[in-house]
Amino acid sequence: MANNYLTTESKKLATWYFTFAAIIFGAQLVFGLVAAFQYVMPGFLFEIVDFSVARMIHINALVVWMVFAMMGSVYWLLPDETGIETVGIGLGKLLFWVFAAAIVIVVLVYLLVQVGPADQTTIWFINEGREYLEAPRWADIGIVVVVLGFVYNLYATGMKGNRSGIVTVLMADMLAFAGIYLAGMGYTDNISIDQYWWWWVIHLWVEATWEVFVGSIAAYGLITMIGAHRKVVEMWLWIEVAMLFGSGILGIGHHYFWIGTPEYWWEIGALFSALEPLPLVAMFIHVLYDWGKQQGAQEAQGKEVSVIANKPAFTWFVLQALGNFLGAGVWGFFHTFPQVNLYTHGTQFTSAHGHLAFFGAYATILIGMFYIAVQGKHGIKVMHATKKSIWATSMIFGGVLGMTAALTMSGYVQVLVERAQMGASWSGYFDSQASVWFAQGMDWRLIMGIVTFLGFVILVTDLLSIGKATHHER
Ligand code: HEM
Ligand code: HEM
Ligand SMILES: [Fe+2]
């Protein structure tokens, strides 16, 4: 590297987290492709990397890379927001290596050992069998230690430096994020109770703490990239915090319809989860509104309309608002009433929602942070879009939209054939999946998955080649 413009150790550390996140993101996509290929050709890699293993790695890698990118984002913005160097950089570096090594070991065990008997040894050393959080117990505890260290650094820095609204929200949010993880660590042999607590982690992460986290990142990004007024952005952030926690906490009821919990969850889940899209709509409007207002004010003063300091990142930030709205707001709302969920529950429709929501709400903005970090690293004042960045963005976003459309179609076949026509019977389950319409959806998902993956490859080459053009305004 010819020149390194990173001004603080905190930002340097952030780039470590981002780099590892990008690698795991790549691994996530590779194993997603393996699983998607197995839908089309069931014998593919049979007894080498079975579907269950590929799927497990796919979705656990998803969680892991996002947590790494989350920590990276916090380390990146802390010095800007607090005005001081982050406290505990040494600890942050140590924890990075501990966390990364643990992940590598866990993945190797997933690949090489894969399964074990239903006993404590398996839980401690292979996996816990809780979808998305399958890390074995030793790694579970390790993750708690790592995250506590991270939260300590955040608090120590926030208390010492300037505590902006963004930092304050992050401090509260990251504590909640870490605390909720504990709910998924208990052990019980009652599957209803187990699922009940497991959903605390999954649902309250994605529909409360993660949403607040990306709200903070969006606020930071809008301020740094287009000079949005802090007062306006932070006011919206607080409103969103209130709304998200208000609807998200009881919205958990939409996962309690069919797991053996009392029936009052039908009403609670229906009502509160139906309210959940409201903050997402508010966020969407807020990005556009803030930006329009900013430009209008500048025009009125006769100034030139402001430049966007980082075009690729800004594009990803705007796509976040759109993706969150579509994936969580529209696709989520669609199946959130128990009357609808009875038909769609656990079909490919769920997967359509899962993909568009996770990608739209979180992957997008984290990719935006990758670009912000690369810009900072090379000291680029104004970063324009490149051919590569435009291709990468279009192929990744278009690919995931295409996968979502394909999965939605396959889901409809399951709803109509398996649930409506054949009454959710055992044979209905298989008949619906033998339907040619279902199979075509699976083909298209694979094709669109390949488009997504190629887009990712272009993204990586773009991020890596930006360094070579140092000094130049791109
Ligand atoms: C960005 C935010 C969100 C993310 C990342 C997300 C992700 C997911 C994922 C991955 C699942 C599947 C879980 C499994 O494997 O069983 C799921 C299920 C579900 N989500 Fe979301 N979700 C989000 C927001 C929402 C919102 C706002 C709503 C409602 C308005 C919603 C409604 C549902 C429902 C009803 C299910 C259960 C599906 C079923 O019964 O099969 N989600 N979500
Ligand atoms: C190369 C692109 C991708 C392919 C081919 C792919 C394929 C798959 C497959 C085959 C499954 C298992 C579905 C099942 O059990 O029926 C799956 C699950 C999942 N994938 Fe992907 N995926 C890709 C990208 C992504 C991305 C970018 C995200 C989010 C950022 C994501 C999030 C998920 C989630 C949350 C699930 C669990 C869904 C559920 O349980 O309902 N995937 N994916
Ligand atoms: Fe949920």
Distance 254 CA to ligand 1 centre (A): 8
CA of 70 to the centre of ligand 2 (A): 20
Would residue 349 count as lying in a domain?
no
Nearest CA to 222 out of 303, 304, 306 is that of 306
Distance from the alpha carbon of residue 383 to the mean position of ligand 2, in angstroms: 32
* Mean pLDDT computed over every residue of the chain: 93
* Spatial distance between the Cα atoms of 146 and 95, rounded to a whole number of angstroms: 6
Structure tokens at 345: 């529950």
Least confident of 27-31, 231-235, 349-353, 469-473: 469-473
Does 404 reside within a domain?
A: no
pLDDT digits (tens, 9 = 90+) for 374-432: 999 999 999 999 999 999 999 999 999 999 999 999 999 999 999 999 999 999 999 99
CA-based nearest residue to 451, from 387, 386, 404? 404
Give the ligand at the shortest distance from the Cα of 61. 2
Residue 39 within any structural domain of the chain: yes
Give domain status of residue 78, yes or no.
yes
- Which pLDDT band holds residue 268 (cuts at 50, 70, 90)? very high
Question: 87 is in which domain, residue-wise?
Answer: 1-162
Identify whether 9 is part of a domain.
yes
Please indicate whether residue 186 or residue 320 has the higher confidence score (pLDDT).
320
Report d(CA 251, CA 316) in Å as an integer: 28
Structural tokens at position 398: 């278009």
Q: Output the pLDDT for position 301.
A: 79
pLDDT in tens, 5-60: 788 999 999 999 999 999 999 999 999 999 999 999 999 999 999 999 999 999 99
How many distinct structural domains can be found in the chain? Answer: 1
Q: What pLDDT digit, counting tens, does each position of 171-182 carry?
A: 999 999 999 999
Instruction: Return the best residue to mutate from 24, 59, 341, 370 for the ligand 2 pocket (most ligand atoms within 8 A of CB).
Output: 59
pLDDT for residue 283: 73
Q: What is the pLDDT of residue 302?
A: 75
Name 310's bridge partners.
Answer: 383
**CB-based contact 276:250 (threshold 8 Å):** no
DSSP string spanning 441-457?
HHHHHHHHHHHHHHHHH
Residue 393 domain-assigned? no
pLDDT at 469 over 70: no
Least reliable range by pLDDT among 10-19, 79-88, 89-98, 296-305 = 296-305
- Distance between CA atoms of residues 374 and 84, nearest Å: 21
Inside any domain, residue 44: yes
Encoded amino acid at 127, one letter: N
User: Does the structure show a pLDDT above 90 at 164?
Assistant: yes
The burial class, CB within 10 Å (0-12 / 13-18 / 19+), for 169 is buried
Cα 218 from Cα 321, distance rounded (Å):
9
pLDDT of residue 300: 80
First and final C-alpha spacing in the chain: 18
Question: What span, in angstroms and rounded, lies between the C-alpha atoms of 161 and 268?
Answer: 42
pLDDT confidence bin for 187, thresholds 50/70/90: confident
Confidence at residue 297, expressed as pLDDT on a 0 to 100 scale = 75
**Domain presence at residue 431:** no
Q: How open is the CA angle 79-84-88, to the nearest 5 degrees?
A: 85
Above 80 in pLDDT, residue 196?
yes
Across 333-357, average pLDDT: 97
Q: Which residues of 14-33 are buried (b: 16+ CB within 10 A; e: fewer)?
A: bbbbbbbbbebbbbbbebbb
User: Model confidence over 442-456: pLDDT tens digits?
Assistant: 999 999 999 999 999
Give the pLDDT confidence score for residue 474 in this predicted structure.
Answer: 46
pLDDT in tens, 284-301: 777 777 777 777 777 787
Q: For residue 279, how many other CB atoms are within 10 A of its CB? A: 28
Residue 29 CA to residue 36 CA, distance in Å, equals 10
Cα 257 to ligand 3 centroid, rounded to whole Å: 11
Q: Is it the case that residue 303 has pLDDT exceeding 80? A: no
pLDDT of residue 1: 37
- CA 235/CA 282 separation, integer angstroms: 12
Q: Residues lining ligand 2, judged by CB closer than 6 Å?
A: 29, 32-33, 35-36, 39, 55, 58-59, 62, 350-351, 354-355, 358-359, 363, 400, 449, 452-453
56-60, 153-157, 276-280, range with the lowest pLDDT? 276-280
The pLDDT value recorded for residue 239 is: 87
Q: Cα separation of 239 and 211, whole Å?
A: 13
Distance, CA of 229 to CA of 222 (rounded, Å) = 9
Q: Which backbone phi and psi does 40 adopt, to 5 degrees?
A: -85, -40
